[in-house]
Amino acid sequence: MRAAVVTAFGGPEAVEIVETDVPEPAARQIRIKVAAAALNPVDAGVRAGVFGGAGKRLGLGWDVAGTVDAVGVATGWTVGDEVVALVYGTAKSLGTHADHVIVDADAVAKAPASVDAVHAATLPLNALTAAQALDLLALEPGRSLLVTGAAGAVGGYAVQLAAHRGLAVTGVARAADEELVRSLGATRFAAGAVAPGSVDGVLDAAILGAAALEWVRDGGVFTGVIPHAHPASVRGVRTGSVEVAADGARLAELVALVDAGVLTPRVAETFALDGAVKAHARLAEGGLRGRVVLVP
């Protein structure tokens, strides 16, 4: 089978498509025939060596939508099931940017019925990150939340989930994205400076750090999306960052929200797996409103 990997760090041209054996699932694992797999900034980080692993073959891809085509024992899944999953890890030898991928059975959920595999593939990493970040914030309904990067993949899901939870959401993004961000559920919008201390919490999907921390009221809460990279606490603000965890049960809840129309998967462009270098180059250009998705 084919798989996108890196064996030496660099720019988009460092991505290689290699031929490798089709993997076999062990106990409590399934194999998915990949229908679509999103390309995320973390993949660019792996490619560039941000997470280390020099001298190893590193597989790319965390999100997958596809069909179960082999199962180990004690999985609860059946060949032919349409599924989505998160394959966690920056140092795996094979990721989801491949023809097949092995996934732990408890990281898997049934695929949404209301969208195709390409759109479903944008859900696992980005929506789980948004949901788990909101869990860390632990804001009660009626409280105010500011989401930076509100037009992006994580930020967009965060706006929708926060609004669904009854939070009063301010979205921060480029001025041209105001209509989009409001359509996701933000009741307020900002394209620039925000009044200091004006919100109960910040979900910093744009990785603004200390600048966004200033917008939180004394004693409020701040959560970033880069593990262990959040700013230090000031003025009694509780600060932290989410490290996304694979969670099939939680992913199933998010799938249900897609089918209920609460969450809106967004696809910017699609590329064939053999065009992974071009896909990475497009990601590097920026300005995407939705995810780039690879289709084997």
> How many percent of the chain have pLDDT more than 70?
100
Would strands 29-39 and 100-104 be described as parallel, antiparallel, or unpaired? antiparallel
Shared domain for 71 and 167, answered yes or no, is: no
Residues 109 and 181 in one domain: no
**What is the rounded distance in angstroms from the CA atom of residue 101 to the CA atom of residue 22?**
8
In this structure, the answer to whether residues 157 and 103 fall within a common structural domain is no
Q: Report the CATH number at residue 8.
A: 3.90.180.10
Query: Is the pLDDT assigned to residue 287 strictly greater than 90?
Result: no
Q: How many domains does the chain have?
A: 2
154 is a domain residue: yes
- Indicate whether 159 and 186 sit together in one domain: yes
pTM reported for the whole predicted model? 0.96
pLDDT surpassing 90 at residue 152: yes
- The answer to whether 41 and 283 have CB atoms below 8 angstroms apart is yes
Tens digits of residue pLDDT in 28-82: 999 999 999 999 999 999 999 999 999 999 999 999 999 999 999 999 999 999 9
216, 170 contact by CB (below 8 A): no
Please check whether residue 220 lies inside any domain of the structure: yes
> Quick one: 7 and 113 in the same domain?
yes
Position 237 confidence tier, pLDDT thresholds 50, 70, 90: very high
Quick one: 115 and 131 in the same domain?
A: no
Residue 258 lies in a domain: no
State the residue range of the domain holding 147: 126-241
Residues 95 and 138 both lie in one domain: no
State whether 220 and 282 are in the same domain: no
- Asked if residue 205 belongs to a domain, the reply is yes
